Amino acid sequence: MEQNSQAEKSSQINILEAQIRECFGRVVYSHKTQEKCADIVLKIHKQLKLSLIIISAIVTTSLLIKLFGNNEWALMVGVILSTLLFGLNTYMKDFDLGEIAQKHTNAANELWDIRETYLSLLTDLKADQLSINQIINKRDELQKRLSNIYSGSPRTNYKAYKEASQALKVNEELTFSDEEIDMFLPKELKKN
């Protein structure tokens, strides 16, 4: 009877571990995608700001050329670029890209904490430190926290997901060899 109970517990733990591993993987991707989305939006923000400065400088220069000379082309350049400047400023007024980038960064930071908590839960599970009820309670708590984070997070896009996938699978951004970890540790904690 004791062996059946032990086998049943082992089966339940394996099922819970499989689900928690799946959740952990999704959070890893969500975290990295939010980071990449923040990077993309911030890059666009900086490019737009620089474009506004450059266009403003050209408009001013063209108007000064027209003012001090009789160059009709300078007036045309000034009018065309001034119209473009108006459009860009209107766009920037409606979308605060700096704030959007910050929201992606905040979501990534919150997801990082969830990711690390899932990792700790998997470690405790493998070390056989938790009962079935403790595992279920911690899993459910993480799901609630995760739901709150997702509901307040900005949407990501396919480009950010592709970059996250590249970062995780090819660049191995979350993976360290024993040698790399040993470089950060004092001699007493090194593995090799």
pLDDT tens for each residue of 43-97: 999 999 999 999 999 999 998 898 888 788 988 999 999 999 998 888 888 888 9
pTM of the model: 0.81
DSSP symbol at 175: -
Separation CA 166–CA 40 (nearest Å): 15
**From residue 115, how far is each of 13, 35, 121, 144 by CA, in Å?**
20, 14, 10, 14
Weakest-pLDDT range from 4-13, 51-60, 153-162: 4-13
Is the model more confident about 179 or about 166?
166
Contact (Cβ atoms closer than 8 angstroms) between residue 168 and residue 154: no
Match 């997901």 to its residue by tokens: 161
Q: What is the pLDDT of residue 1?
A: 54
Contact (Cβ atoms closer than 8 angstroms) between residue 166 and residue 153: no
